Structure 1
Amino acid sequence: MGGRYPHMLLILILLHGANAAIDAPVEKWQTLDGRPPLVIARGGFSGLFPESSKFAYEFAMTASLPGVVLECDLQLSSDGVGFCRSGLTLDKSTLIAEMYPKKDKTYKLGSEDIHGWFAVDFTSDELINNVTVIQTIFSRPSTFDAIMGMYTLDDMAGLHPQQIWVNVEFDGFYRDHNLDIEDYLLKLPKDYPIAYISSPDISFLKSIGGKLKGRAKLILRCLADNVTETSVKKSYGEILKDLKSVKAFASGIMVPRNYVWPVNNNLYLLPPTSLVKDAHALGLEVHVGSFANDILTSYNYSYDPAAEYLQFINNPDFTVDGLMTDFPPTASGAVACLAHNEANALASNGERPLIITHNGASGVYAGCTDLAYQQAVKDGADIIDCSVRMSKDGVAFCLGSADLIASTTAATTFMTKVVTISEIQNKSGIFSFDLSWSEIQTLKPELTGPFAQAGLKRNPAAKNAGKFFTLPEFLHFAKSSNVSGILIEIEVAYPFH
């Protein structure tokens, strides 16, 4: 099992967090109904498994909050069977092109020609028996590719989730092929727990709304704010300026993250919009989509997906009503374990483990600088650390490495000081004990990370911010702060100097 499914260990580890999530915080939420925000699993646990597959839905239910909502992007086969699969074509998320290499077609969608393999050209038997699914994002595990078939809405309902979310993206396309999604949904068994039906198509929502008789909430799914909604000929940004008109046909909206927390061109958060408060004032739910653990959205989150979820559900001004995500266990942990828990949860023995820094908050600011230590204290660190280095004239100061190239701008001004000292490291460097303290003070700290060469920068706006701390300055800062202790590290003495 370990050789065939190496990612299973990760999944099993997540189960503990899901079980701990059963007891929700007692504090009232700022959602529309005062209850915890929904975790909506887009295509199930699609961050790990092929989306909308058997494993994706099963593990979403197992490793998430008990009330996790399973989402299905609805497609119809030529004989009118509903399948869960995002997009309009099948060739990017299945191996249908290998099985039916000559059945690709080109169809008109609005003014655009779309080429590929379409569900409307295949019977349900062909799709179920001959087509297997694959991961659509190549940076994600391919371990489970080509081992599961396409999943129908009936299959997903058979897992007995508490709630199902059906998204209808291309109703007009199916009507052009004599297939009626509206009729399909209305004829589904009444015991199917379909709680939400969303669509970016206002005409579809208005049409089905009068026939559902309250069986499901209708949600306007907004695309990018500059995209035009075809039935009313307005952009989604314009539509949301008149929320009263949305209230006339929908119970809520689903929006991309930047509708609530916009970012600037440098990927830093701007102040939040008033959308959530405005919608709640009119009785509209606000759900936010496109969450994923493996994409960079803003440097403010320091690559911590839980921090991003908390920005939407644990700020003092508002809480969104639902989080649609490819990684429902992470969202579940944020809702059930991290939100409303600023006091830090205690361990089972009643004691909290110590939080010990690594060069201060060195993921936010350059390590061992005043700003890194200040941020560490602000974040609740118990013990702050100082790796002691010595200058040429005997000044002790804090720095993560004796090689100044690693964490300062020394390479731009002191290249003549480059030497190789094999007792310290195998590569050449510019070492602290070869520069006087006054020379070191002319340098700027440099924020680096382990994956910087892969483009994963840390807080680039503060790349060279902060100043170095001497050991006496560090001790004075620690004494005046609320930390419970310090860690002094001396890696190596330098007898050869």
Structure 2
Amino acid sequence: MVKNGWVFAALGLMLAACGGPARKEAEITPAWTTLDGAPPLVIAHRGASGYLPEHTLEAYGLAIEQGADVIEPDLVFTKDGVLVARHDRYLSTTTDVAAHPEFADRKKPNADPNDAPREDWWIEDFTLEEVKTLRAVQPFPGRSKDYDGLYEIPTFDDVLALVSARADEIERPVGVYPETKHPGYFQSIGMDFEQPLLAALDDFEAGPVFIQSFEPDILKRLRGKADAKLVQLVYKETPGAGSNIPLTEIVKYADGVGPSKFLLLGEGGESTSFVKDAHAQGLMVHAWTFRDDQKNPAIEAHLTKQGLISFVVSDSFQGLPEDIMMEYFYMTSAGVDGMFTDFPDTAVGFRKAWTK
């Protein structure tokens, strides 16, 4: 027997349409098994980063065009204390900094003792004026490099202004989901996220706001001060392990949890109870990261065991990438409340196809 609420709901509707045994209304499982029963959010991970260089206004704008509900800017500080959108403190992989001879002498070892050793150019050594001379590049192998060198590095204020303007244009809400990167390290060098983050968000009204971090301290300090949902990011520390921070601890200061998708499915394709357990604590679940160009073999193994492969690869999702459809099907069936994706159009396409 397949224990899947969506499948039961679909079967119930088909039986009713065909004159089969009627089911009582109370027995019909809602189409979405999210915490609030609403469709899962499509969260544009670093913008539409599967298509354009990540964390650029162009990538965020494309994500909104593709139907993303929320865009995600990772935030770091410049030397003069301005929040800018970059995934990492180091700049070599996502910008053309190495092609700037005027910055050659800025390359140095990582100053954060709690981070991985690395020789690189570090965002906190550059003023905003200097950062604005850099251009973004595509860091992922196999993705288009056609747009390298074209786009600036945006400030957080730039991002918020873009989202607000686009939300007005398309007449629908668009939210933001900033991540505070390395807040402990930045605080140790005199740059605290709390005040500038809250100040930047104070007038933002275009859509919902979520603030996420891997470090609990910043979320605990923001508790009660931000008109935003707070989300603790978690991952597996070792294969087969559970969340690196227990849900019973997270619920004390956060509204949701952002798990690596590998916490939701075992290496052999077995289901886990992570989403169910989080929902039992009243925590929403926003899983990361979904990528059309990265296959997850455990998903296919799971759906094969459950006898659902033929359904997922059927005409229901015609024209959409088969591997990622399997992943979206499993994760949304598990009840995730949101999905971080590099390819927002595919996630939106899945959600529309399933709704139909």
TM range (shorter): 0.7 to 0.9
1:307 paired to 2:326: yes
SS at match of 1:188: helix
Asked if the contact 2:236/2:244 (under 8 Å) is kept, the reply is: no
Asked if the contact 2:46/2:60 (under 8 Å) is kept, the reply is: yes
Give 1:116-131 correspondences, 5 Å limit.
Answer: 116-128=120-132, 130-131=133-134
- The residue number in structure 1 matching 2:170 is none
Asked if the contact 1:226/1:237 (under 8 Å) is kept, the reply is: no
How many Å separate the matches in 1 of 2:238 and 2:220? 22
Matched AA of 2:282: G
List alignment gaps of at least 5 residues for structure 2: 1-29, 168-173, 301-308, 314-321
Shift of residue 168 of structure 1? 1.2
Query: Would you say how many aligned residue pairs link Structure 1 and Structure 2?
Result: 292
SS at match of 2:278: helix
Asked if the contact 2:295/2:323 (under 8 Å) is kept, the reply is: no
Shift of residue 48 of structure 1? 0.8
Matched AA of 2:346: T
Q: Deviations over 1:334-357 (max 9, x none)?
A: 11x22244xxxxxxxxxxxxxxxx
Asked if the contact 2:94/2:137 (under 8 Å) is kept, the reply is: yes
- The residue number in structure 2 matching 1:144 is 147
Asked if the contact 1:120/1:177 (under 8 Å) is kept, the reply is: no
Give 1:388-407 correspondences, 5 Å limit.
Answer: none
1:207 paired to 2:208: no
Matched AA of 1:326: D
Asked if the contact 1:78/1:119 (under 8 Å) is kept, the reply is: yes
Asked if the contact 1:108/1:114 (under 8 Å) is kept, the reply is: no
List alignment gaps of at least 5 residues for structure 1: 1-26, 228-234, 342-497
- The residue number in structure 1 matching 2:53 is 50
Asked if the contact 1:219/1:253 (under 8 Å) is kept, the reply is: yes
Matched AA of 1:152: T
Give 1:29-428 correspondences, 5 Å limit.
Answer: 29-65=32-68, 68-99=69-100, 100-106=103-109, 107-110=111-114, 112-128=116-132, 130-159=133-162, 160=164, 161=167, 162-193=174-205, 195-212=209-226, 215-226=227-238, 237-240=243-246, 243-264=247-268, 269-270=269-270, 272-298=271-297, 300=300, 303-313=322-332, 315=333, 318-335=334-351, 337-341=352-356
How many Å separate the matches in 1 of 2:54 and 2:286? 20
Query: In angstroms, what is the RMSD of aligned CA positions?
Result: 2.0
Structure of greater Rg: 1
Matched AA of 1:151: P
Shift of residue 210 of structure 1? 3.5
Q: In structure 2, do the counterparts of structure 1 residues 236 and 167 end up closer, same or farther at CA, with 3 Å as the change threshold?
A: farther
How many Å separate the matches in 2 of 1:28 and 1:112? 44
Shift of residue 112 of structure 1? 4.1
Q: In structure 2, do the counterparts of structure 1 residues 152 and 278 end up closer, same or farther at CA, with 3 Å as the change threshold?
A: same
Q: Deviations over 1:126-167 (max 9, x none)?
A: 111x10000011210001000111111111111225200011
How many Å separate the matches in 2 of 1:188 and 1:148? 22
Asked if the contact 1:50/1:144 (under 8 Å) is kept, the reply is: yes
Q: In structure 2, do the counterparts of structure 1 residues 237 and 177 end up closer, same or farther at CA, with 3 Å as the change threshold?
A: same
How many Å separate the matches in 2 of 1:178 and 1:236? 34
SS at match of 1:290: strand
Matched AA of 2:245: I
How many Å separate the matches in 1 of 2:340 and 2:259? 10
Asked if the contact 2:234/2:245 (under 8 Å) is kept, the reply is: no
Matched AA of 1:237: S
Matched AA of 2:238: N
Shift of residue 288 of structure 1? 0.5
Asked if the contact 2:235/2:244 (under 8 Å) is kept, the reply is: no
How many Å separate the matches in 1 of 2:272 and 2:251? 19
How many Å separate the matches in 1 of 2:180 and 2:235? 13
Q: Deviations over 1:96-137 (max 9, x none)?
A: 122122211221331643321111111111111x10000011
Identity of aligned residues (%): 30
How many Å separate the matches in 1 of 2:128 and 2:175? 25
Asked if the contact 2:236/2:262 (under 8 Å) is kept, the reply is: no
How many Å separate the matches in 2 of 1:261 and 1:49? 29
How many Å separate the matches in 2 of 1:125 and 1:236? 43
Shift of residue 298 of structure 1? 1.5
Q: In structure 2, do the counterparts of structure 1 residues 340 and 189 end up closer, same or farther at CA, with 3 Å as the change threshold?
A: closer
- The residue number in structure 2 matching 1:9 is none
Shift of residue 310 of structure 1? 1.5
Shift of residue 275 of structure 1? 1.0
What is the TM-score of this pair, normalised by structure 2? Answer: 0.77
